[in-house]
């Protein structure tokens, strides 16, 4: 199997990547063509797993039954665009040259970094699987805290909210997101990878593992891992609570379950939520919910307008839950009447109801695991 994979990577490199880089006059500037080929093939493998495994599973054990999947189409389009085009090219045309500039292009990048894992634990050089697991634990912990910041920092939430706006969360939803948000995430995760000494090929497989788990955790399936494993790994039901619509009576309840692969981070840091029924997904903010009426280009433009409105004002830098007014500026959720927004959403006219009536922000959490 490994010989077949290596042959496929070589063939793709010679017959597709090298000619493409030559056409762009980027030979020698974008890293090893073989690594680019492997990254693209890994992305293709990911799309195949989503399409032929996760998607059929949604029909067998759905968390929600939909009369149609119209709102998932843009997520499907975006997944193909990201995984088979933008992300591999961005990784190797932008991140790899940066990594090479800072000394990450050698065979054992971790040996040259004072923070490299193998610099401190040289014995791991002889145990690649153990080293990969250590890399992944660090990578996942960084993702957890970055994800919390995406929700807490208004200008970053303005971008990340595009991911949460979908009302039909499916196996294609994971890659739905602003390109600016994706750029920021990639720079953070790739930067940490360079610091701790992750080789480019290992980083590609780290990303595949994390992305596949997230594709599954976003799937519209009623799947749990049981009372023990649910405390260790993110299941679809666990992550679905992270995407639930805001509850006007418990407005902070959805600030939970931020983990990517390991739910143990939520358990340790007090953000894990269990024991809630399966809930509808989406956002209560009508300005963000309007994403569902837009196509691929409109989604990004709408998210960017929120970002531009938030990043230019003080409120955009003040940590906390926000919605966005009609000028795309952040408004603290504490100033909103969430019950009125919910009633307006049910009546179909919530887009003009960002009322500044002080909402009762008291919280009555369900079974939330204490720190």
Q: Is residue 81 part of a domain?
A: yes
Q: What angle do CA 327, 330, 334 make, to 5 degrees?
A: 130
Greater confidence (344 vs 172) lies with 172
Contact 38, 204 (CB under 8 A): yes
Per-residue burial over 231-258, b if 16 or more Cβ lie within 10 Å, else e, is: bebbbbbbbbbbbbbbbbebbbbbbbbb
Q: Is residue 364 part of a domain?
A: no
Greater confidence (346 vs 165) lies with 165
Give the pLDDT band (50/70/90) at residue 368: very low
Q: Is 62 helix (H, G, I), strand (E, B) or coil?
A: strand
Q: Would the pLDDT of 312 be above 70?
A: yes
What pLDDT is attached to residue 172? 95
Average pLDDT, the chain: 82
Query: CA 138, CA 34: separation in Å to the nearest integer?
Result: 27
What pLDDT is attached to residue 364? 39
What pLDDT is attached to residue 129? 82
Kindly state the percentage of the chain with pLDDT values over 70.
81
Greater confidence (94 vs 10) lies with 10
Q: Is residue 337 part of a domain?
A: no
Q: Which residues contact 156 (CB under 8 A, 6 or more apart)?
A: 149, 150, 181, 184
The mean pLDDT value for 251-260 works out to: 92
Q: Is the dihedral of CA 152, 154, 157, 159 positive or negative?
A: negative
Contact 166, 173 (CB under 8 A): yes
* DSSP code at position 274: E
Per residue in 327-352, pLDDT (tens digit) is 999 999 888 877 777 776 666 555 55
Helix axes 179-196, 154-164, angle to 10 degrees: 110
Greater confidence (254 vs 195) lies with 254
Q: Is residue 289 part of a domain?
A: no
What pLDDT is attached to residue 113? 57
Give the pLDDT band (50/70/90) at residue 191: confident
Q: Is residue 331 part of a domain?
A: no
Alpha helices in 200-332 (DSSP H): 200-217, 236-242, 264-268, 286-289, 296-311
The mean pLDDT value for 80-104 works out to: 59
Q: Is residue 279 part of a domain?
A: no
What pLDDT is attached to residue 11? 92
The mean pLDDT value for 101-114 works out to: 51
Q: Is residue 138 part of a domain?
A: yes
Which domain range does residue 249 map to? Answer: 2-274
What pLDDT is attached to residue 93? 54
Structure tokens belonging to residue 46: 């990911």
Give the pLDDT band (50/70/90) at residue 222: very high
Kindly state the percentage of the chain with pLDDT values over 90.
46
Structural domain total, the chain: 1
Give the pLDDT band (50/70/90) at residue 319: very high
Q: Is residue 189 part of a domain?
A: yes
Structure tokens belonging to residue 291: 């994403």
The mean pLDDT value for 322-329 works out to: 94
The mean pLDDT value for 15-29 works out to: 75
Strands (E) in 234-355, as ranges, are 273-274, 322-324, 330-332
What pLDDT is attached to residue 250? 87
The mean pLDDT value for 30-51 works out to: 81
Q: State which of 71-85, 129-143, 226-240 shows the largest mean pLDDT.
A: 226-240
């Amino acid at each position: 199997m490994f010989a077949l994979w290596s042959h496929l990577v070589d063939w793709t490199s010679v017959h597709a990547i090298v000619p493409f880089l030559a056409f762009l006059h980027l030979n020698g500037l974008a890293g090893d063509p073989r690594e680019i080929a492997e990254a693209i093939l890994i992305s293709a493998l990911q799309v195949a797993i989503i399409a032929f495994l996760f998607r059929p599973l949604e029909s067998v054990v759905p968390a929600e039954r939909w009369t149609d999947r119209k709102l998932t189409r843009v997520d499907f389009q975006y997944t193909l665009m990201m995984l088979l085009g933008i992300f591999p090219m961005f990784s190797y045309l932008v991140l790899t040259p940066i990594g090479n500039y800072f000394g990450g292009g050698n065979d054992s990048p971790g040996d040259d970094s004072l923070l490299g894992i193998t610099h401190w634990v040289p014995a791991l050089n002889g145990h690649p699987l153990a080293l990969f697991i250590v890399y992944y634990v660090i990578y996942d912990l960084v993702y957890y805290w970055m994800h919390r910041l995406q929700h807490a920092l208004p200008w970053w939430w303005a971008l990340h909210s595009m991911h949460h706006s979908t009302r039909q969360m499916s196996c294609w939803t994971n890659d739905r997101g602003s390109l600016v948000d994706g750029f920021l995430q990639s720079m953070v995760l790739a930067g940490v990878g360079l610091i701790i000494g992750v080789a480019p090929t290992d980083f590609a497989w780290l990303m595949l593992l994390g992305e596949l788990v997230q594709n599954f955790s976003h799937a519209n399936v009623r799947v749990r891992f049981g009372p023990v494993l649910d405390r260790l790994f993110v299941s679809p039901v666990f992550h679905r609570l992270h995407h639930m619509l805001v509850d006007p009576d418990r407005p902070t309840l959805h600030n939970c379950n931020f983990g990517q692969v390991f739910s143990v981070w939520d358990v340790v840091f007090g953000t894990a939520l269990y024991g809630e029924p399966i809930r509808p997904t989406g956002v209560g903010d009508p300005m963000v919910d309007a994403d569902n009426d837009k196509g691929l280009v409109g989604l990004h433009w709408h998210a960017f307008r929120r970002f531009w409105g938030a990043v230019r004002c003080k409120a955009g830098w003040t940590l906390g839950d926000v919605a966005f007014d009609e000028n795309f500026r952040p408004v603290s959720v504490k100033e909103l009447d969430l019950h009125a927004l919910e009633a307006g959403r049910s009546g179909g006219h919530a887009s003009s109801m960002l009322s500044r009536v002080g909402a009762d922000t008291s919280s009555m959490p369900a079974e939330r695991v204490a720190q």
